[in-house]
Amino acid sequence: MPLTVLYEDNHIIVTVKPVNVPVQADDTGDLDLLTQVKAYIKEKYNKPGEVYCGLVHRLDRPVGGVMVFARTSKAAQRLAPQFADKGGSGAKKRYAAAVCGEISSRSAAR
């Protein structure tokens, strides 16, 4: 699946995480988003050697959505606490679910 970049600058890169794509490598050996982003940066900016890309938050494999990656370690140090902040002063996370069919009031309460 091709990488969809929504935004990038010298500090961050924002991409779309497709459904059922792991954010980082796992035991399945499936291509993960972090590896794709590193390859994108390496090719686009003609970077030699290992490319830095900081993972500052995650989405579960079955979930699709928007991912923010740090392009520098300084950006990672500043972003990670914002995504970890449960008090509400950090990054704002929003979730939506698409449902096919009807949901009964009994199943919705579970």
Check 26, 30, 32, 60 and give the catalytic one: 60
Contacts from 16-23 at CB under 8 Å and sequence distance 24+? 16/64, 16/65, 16/66, 16/67, 17/59, 17/63, 17/64, 17/65, 17/66, 17/67, 18/64, 19/62, 19/63, 19/64, 20/61, 20/62, 21/61, 22/61, 23/55, 23/58, 23/59, 23/61, 23/67
The yes-or-no answer on residue 60 being catalytic is yes
Residues belonging to the active site: 60
